[in-house]
Amino acid sequence: MSILRIQNAQLAFGNDAIFAGIDLVIEAGERLCLVGRNGAGKSTLLKAIAGTVQLDEGNIQAINDAVVARLPQDPPANSADSVYDYVAEGLADVGTALKRYHAVSQQLSSDVSDALMRELSQLQSEIEAANGWVLQTRIENILTQLELDADMTMQSLSGGWLRRVALARALVVAPDLLLLDEPTNHLDVEMVQWLEQTLLEFKGAVLFISHDREFIRRLATRIIDLDRGHLASYPGNYDRYLEMKQEALEVEANQAAEFDKKLAQEEVWIRQGVKARRTRNEGRVRALQALRKERVKRRELQGSAKLSVQEAQRSGKLVFEGENLSLAFANKVILDDFALQLQRGDKIALVGPNGCGKSTLIRVILGQQAVDSGQLKFGTNLEVAYFDQHRATLDPKLSVAENVGDGKQDVTYNGRTRHILSYLQDFLFSPKQARTPVHALSGGERNRALLAKLFLTPSNLLILDEPTNDLDIDTLELLEQIVAEYQGTVILVSHDREFVNNTATSVLLFEGEGMITEIVGGFTEINHYLERKAQQSSQKQGTKAVAKQSESAKLGTQASSQPRKKLSYKLQRELEQLPAQIEALEREQEELTAIASEPEFYTKPQAETGPLLDRLSELEIMLLTALERWDELENLQQESS
């Protein structure tokens, strides 16, 4: 059954047609992945379907009043609203009533006043009249399903959990069609796998944009390709799409070659005809004019980026060596008797949940972070190029060329002087786009600009922290090739499973409590390692269970007869104070991160930058510890209630 139809959708920004009369029908239960180059208009199409962008011509029709929900790309991270309030707001007026009902119910636990009782009664009537109790139950069920605490504030949540709350808000309206724009950005692998499973179990249709090829392969039942204003549909999986797309491009290239050949022949005829016959076939002249117009309207396929790293002279064979390394912040262990040897040419991926200490280990390797104990040995002749999309800064008011070239007209690249506009064309920025302010760029175009700036730095040690976010798949695959062919050493932080599989020679897996395991290979080998570990653990637990069966039965009988203990006053007080402590830590972290993001920060002496970086590392661990403690106390409180 069809739930949404797009007919002859047309939209242009200036002279550029984003949609040149596109058509699309979405069926119930489908999971469609929208692919295309950065700047092709993918996000714009999702916004048009959601009703936040108006078409120039054509129409988008939700069939049989199908409900469409769009996952917000950036939920309000600094909001003091509770999770419940934010999710309920997605239900419009009845959501507002439920939000207030939830707040009044909480207030009544400590203030049983007549005014609050009257307000509660009024809210109950409003909710009942709007059949809101069904929605109340739906909110509670979805929060339970997504393992969300209704009373936690938005500002206390990490990026991954904010995405989870945003998904709850979208799901609570029971959409027939769910729109997702790069849903895996900034999520660690565990959260990505959770999202995959949630969407596989979702009963409605899904239209999503993603650069994560493994994510696409697991979810998509159809691929729709937005290319130069036109939309093509490819049934089947992602690999089948790649084959069919290549075939379509070859047919297009052959047709274009035949067209150009015919046009060239007619141009020769029109020039020679006057001299040879002094008369011309007017019909043939009109046909030539039509050919010329058609050629002008033809939009060429955008070329591939020509990325390459500017390599410095070779480093020494040893890049880094550490033995018996230990490091902890605020009782949170990052390294526990850890040993690592990096040699020239190694390509290491750091894998683990957000906040586990990956960035801290990179600072240890670079000599920017001291350890509590252990022996460190650093390599010689190291030239570092560091891509970190959170710290790397592009001035949004300046053009791409001004940002990348630091205001200069010429840049030096691989020993050769090039004009900045010529250099940027290698990164798919036309002269017009190169003069465009950064604030007008899409997420992927912004990342391409960051890579262009990074690759001007000669290096033999390349550090890439989440480099794949928002890149289109063609550019992503080229970046893979660059990393694979790079002669220096690479340290990579990425949650993109296929990117890691295609680039890393080995992985450092952060397992918690300072335990880091080196695994040769990528995510495939990680999964094998975790499966073996789970089997061994299961076997051990089975043996212990048999040995303690009798004792457990006795303890269970004793425990069942004992009343549950309430949270002590001291623990209750600690629980109440934690939100303010977390807020203060996050505020300090934001302030210090802003200072560290300044372009001139890393030009300062180590004596100035070191203490600030040390404090940032401490804050990272303190925040994680506080959030874990908060979760622990919340669970204790629920168990005692």
Would residue 220 count as lying in a domain? yes
Residue with more model confidence, 555 or 591: 591
> Of 174, 195, 224, which one is at a domain's C-terminal end?
174
332 annotated as ligand-binding: no
CA dist., res. 348 & res. 280, Å (int): 70
Residues of the chain with pLDDT > 70, as a percent, come to: 84
Confirm whether 58 is domain-assigned.
Answer: yes
128, two tokens:
């009942």
Higher pLDDT, 443 or 226: 226
Asked if 39 and 24 sit in the same domain, the reply is yes
Q: What is the CATH number of the domain that holds 640?
A: 1.10.287.380
**Orientation of helix 159-171 relative to helix 189-201, angle to 10°:** 10
Q: Is 554 annotated as a binding residue?
A: no
Asked if 485 and 387 sit in the same domain, the reply is yes
pTM: 0.63
Same domain, 147 and 158: yes
Is 322 known to sit in a ligand binding site? no
Q: Is residue 303 domain-resident?
A: no
CATH number reported for the structural domain that contains residue 523 in this entry: 3.40.50.300
The answer to the question of residue 330 being in a domain is yes
Q: Is 610 annotated as a binding residue?
A: no
356 is in an annotated binding site: yes
User: Is 287 within a domain?
Assistant: no
In this model, does residue 408 exceed pLDDT 50?
yes
Q: Is 331 a known ligand-binding residue?
A: no
Q: How confident is the model at residue 610 (pLDDT cuts 50, 70, 90)?
A: confident
Span 98-137, pLDDT tens digits: 888 888 887 877 777 778 888 888 888 888 888 888 888 8
Do residues 577 and 635 share a domain? yes
430: annotated binding-site residue?
no
Give me the mean pLDDT over the 250-260 stretch.
Answer: 74
Half-sphere exposure of 70 (CA within 13 A, CB side): 17
* Residue at which a domain ends, from 147, 174, 201: 174
Token pair of 117, please? 């009782």
In this structure, the answer to whether residues 446 and 505 fall within a common structural domain is yes
pLDDT confidence band for 559 (50 / 70 / 90)? very low
pLDDT number for residue 433? 87
Beta strands 515-520 and 506-512 are antiparallel
* Residue 557, in any domain of the structure: no
Give the tokens for residue 328. Answer: 């902890």
Mean pLDDT (the chain, rounded):
81
Enclosing domain of residue 373: 318-529
Query: How much of the chain, in percent, has pLDDT values that exceed 90?
Result: 23
Give the mean model confidence (pLDDT) for residues 614-634.
77
Q: Check residue 629 and give its pLDDT.
A: 80
Same domain? For 158 and 201 the reply is: no
Arithmetic mean of pLDDT, 383-390? 77
Q: Quick one: pLDDT band at residue 562, thresholds 50, 70, 90?
A: very low
228/249 Cα distance (integer angstroms): 13
Q: Check the annotation: does 352 bind a ligand.
A: yes
353 is in an annotated binding site: yes
For residues 399 and 497, state if they share a domain. yes
Report the candidate in 432, 167, 624 with the shortest Cα–Cα distance to residue 441: 432
> Annotated binding residue at 88?
no
pLDDT reading at 550 higher than 50? no
Tell me whether residue 33 is annotated as binding: no
pLDDT at 208: 95
Residues 378 and 485 in one domain: yes
Q: In the chain, how many domains are there? A: 4
Radius of gyration, CA atoms only, the chain: 29
The pLDDT score that the predictor gives to residue 35 is 92
* pLDDT per residue as tens digits for the range 308-317: 666 666 777 8
- Domain finish residue from 206, 231, 266: 266
Asked if residue 189 and residue 91 are part of one domain, the reply reads: no
254 is known to lie in a ligand binding site: no
Question: Same domain, yes or no, for 581 and 614?
Answer: yes
Q: What pLDDT is recorded for position 282?
A: 64
- Look up residue 133 and give its two tokens: 């109790």
379 belongs to an annotated ligand binding site: no
Q: Do 577 and 443 share a structural domain?
A: no
Average pLDDT over residues 26-41: 90
The answer to whether position 552 is within a domain reads no
User: For 145-189, how does the pLDDT look when each residue is reduced to its tens digit (9 = 90+)?
Assistant: 888 888 888 888 877 788 888 888 888 888 899 999 888 877 788
* Cβ partners under 8 Å of residue 227, min gap 6: 36, 37, 40, 301
Residue 14 domain-assigned? yes
Going by C-alpha positions, the residue among 228, 247, 251 that lies closest to residue 297 is: 228
Question: In one letter, which amino acid is 323?
Answer: E
Same domain assignment for residues 31 and 49:
yes
